[in-house]
Amino acid sequence: MFLQTVYNFAGMGKQVAFDIFRFDEEGKIAEHWDNLATKASVNPSGHSQIDGYDNLEGLEKYKNKHVLYLELGVGGNTPIIIKYPFWQMVYENSNAVYACLNYQESYCPKEIVERSICVDGDIFEVLQELESKGV
């Protein structure tokens, strides 16, 4: 699974982050890679670091498998892009889990609350706390 987003950590300016996860046969995270880079200006061709293919295909192969839909810092301006589709996919797959880490916008519908983990907090602070505890 590949995730990409733009953050503004603690006044450091906009940064582009990516995460890549590999899952084992049991659906557990086996490996995780990530990186964070300062958001660059558009290049001479008119492209940015976050341009690219954004049409999700092949999701049907995960239909009844163990899937974690991880939402990090998604705001309320465009919930139709990530939040609502994640909720729908979790609702339709009894093996799926929804996890959300967001400051003042961490919530889920009652229909999936039993399979949801919602953490209200600043991503940077929560990740620092987890790291300090060796998680």
Which tokens is 53 given?
């293919």
Q: State the number of CA atoms in the 13 A half-sphere of 25 facing the CB.
A: 0
Do residues 48 and 42 lie in contact, with contact meaning Cβ atoms separated by under 8 Å?
yes
- Looking at residue 6, its pLDDT comes to 78
pLDDT of residue 27: 72
Confidence of residue 57 (pLDDT cuts 50, 70, 90): low
pTM, entire model: 0.57
